[in-house]
């Protein structure tokens, strides 16, 4: 079975870009490692969307190993939608209005 297409919610894409910028200001190497880890997360989610633990309102999370972020996503019939690239210290569920 082919992997479903991944689609970022506009605000999730903004969160990702903001995190990349933050890391890049401190270290281009850290920014690249963050981007690599997000790419790994997206590939893993695409291959096996049910693997992530169930979360709020029909979503799942994929926790990054070396950064304090989780990718919050939901599986829809045709796509996998990334709803948030959430820092671990943000208020849980702040992204729910994106559903």
* 39, two tokens: 């790419």
Mind giving me the DSSP string for 21-56? HHHHHH-HHHHHHHHHHHHHHHHHHHH-GGGSPB-S
| pTM confidence score | 0.92
pLDDT category of residue 2 using cuts at 50, 70 and 90: low
**Can you tell me the distance from the alpha carbon of 90 to that of 92, in angstroms, rounded to the nearest whole number?**
6
**Can you tell me the distance from the alpha carbon of 94 to that of 51, in angstroms, rounded to the nearest whole number?**
23
For the chain, give every domain's residue range: 5-88
Q: In the chain, what are the helix, strand and coil shares in percent, each to the nearest 5?
A: 45, 25, 30
25-43 pLDDT, tens per residue? 999 999 999 999 999 999 9
Pick the CATH number of 5-88 from 3.40.50.10860, 3.30.70.3460, 3.30.2310.20, 3.50.50.60: 3.30.2310.20
């Amino acid at each position: 079975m082919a992997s479903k297409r991944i689609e970022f919610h506009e605000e999730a894409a903004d969160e990702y870009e903001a995190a990349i910028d933050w890391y890049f200001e401190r270290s281009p190497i850290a920014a690249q490692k963050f981007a690599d880890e997000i790419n790994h997360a997206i590939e893993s989610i695409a291959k096996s969307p049910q693997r992530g633990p169930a979360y709020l309102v029909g979503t799942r999370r994929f926790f990054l190993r070396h950064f304090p972020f989780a990718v919050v996503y939901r599986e829809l019939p045709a796509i996998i939608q990334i709803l948030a690239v959430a820092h671990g210290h943000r208020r849980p569920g702040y992204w729910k209005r994106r559903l």
